[in-house]
Amino acid sequence: MTPDRLVPYARLPCAYHDLRLLHSTVDASGRAHWLLRTPADTPGPYDAVVVTVGDGTPNTTVLGPVSARHPRVDALPDGGFVVADARSGTGDEQVQVFDALGRPSWTFRVGDAIEHLLTDESGDLWIGYFDEGVFGDPLSAAGARRWSATGEGLWEYVPPPGGDGIADCYALNVDRRAAWVYPYTSFPLVEVRDGRPPLLRTTTVRGASGVAVDGERVAFLGGYGRDHDRLVLAALGGSTVDVLTTTRLAHADGTPLERRRHVVSRGPRLYVRERSGTEWGVLDIGGS
């Protein structure tokens, strides 16, 4: 089986490789961001830097103080950033919003066990939660939620007819016009659009960690055990997702993907980075 290959997308400049990598993502505009700090571990809040790589010269934004111990970062359309601690307890305002100069402006709580944090073009936060939050924190119990950048709850997942509640949000895709939720245990693909009830489509694909959607085309990346690099291409039906082909996904140089990796799902694109790596690759199913 000949694997599909990622295309090199963005790389952290070498000048920052001596800093400790805390988290990295690709935002709604396609810019890559790395959240970094000095290697020394000091207790309490710390100063951090976000390195942004887009079309031109890399930009840096110093954030401080940052309180997250297990941070997730994404960009806001006004030039600011949101940093959330994946783990939190009652009363712990684990989300920090920073303005374009890196100054803190808002704090609030969105619930424990953040698996996915994706901002959209309007600046809202879409969050998918893993099981410890779903079954342990009322704010996380829905499994997937949308919040404003000031902490107002805007939407939460309610199972569509024929669907179950979310036990663990395995994949979350946030695009310009829609969000897509792919939850454990039955792994449907749920389409979420403003002004419409969520649309559930059943799938036979289990355990994927990323999902890309372009029109009626879908790609699922990952699975259990040896299927960690599986790439399933499928078509959207009225109530089902129908598998077309199954291949493998590799790096641009043909080397296999590691099991520990970070996947960001944005519309027709899957961005993939090894968990400790400084480079993003992309698979784009749009227009092919």
- pTM value > 0.75: yes
Q: Could you tell me which of 253, 263, 283, 229 has the C-alpha nearest to residue 24?
A: 263
76-134, pLDDT tens digit by residue?
999 999 999 999 998 899 999 999 999 999 999 999 999 999 999 999 999 999 999 99
**Distance (Å, rounded) from C-alpha 3 to C-alpha 264?**
20
Distance, C-alpha 218 to centroid of its chain: 17
Domain ranges of the chain: 4-284
Q: What is the CATH number that goes with domain 4-284?
A: 2.120.10.30
Are 82 and 74 in contact by the 8 Å Cβ rule? The answer is: yes
Mean pLDDT, residues 60-76: 96
- E strand segments, 67-221: 71-75, 81-85, 95-98, 104-108, 114-119, 125-129, 144-147, 153-156, 168-174, 179-184, 189-192, 199-201, 210-214, 217-221
Q: Give the pLDDT band (50/70/90) at residue 2.
A: low
Are 273 and 262 in contact by the 8 Å Cβ rule? The answer is: yes
**Distance (Å, rounded) from C-alpha 152 to C-alpha 174?**
18
Q: Give the pLDDT band (50/70/90) at residue 286.
A: very high
**Distance (Å, rounded) from C-alpha 123 to C-alpha 104?**
16
273-285, pLDDT tens digit by residue?
998 889 999 999 9
Provide the 10 A C-beta neighbour count for residue 113: 23
**Distance between the two ends of the chain, CA-based, in angstroms?**
20
183-207, pLDDT tens digit by residue?
999 999 999 998 888 999 999 999 9
For residue 143, the model assigns a pLDDT of 98
Task: Measure the CA angle with vertex 53, ends 52 and 58; round to 5°.
Answer: 80
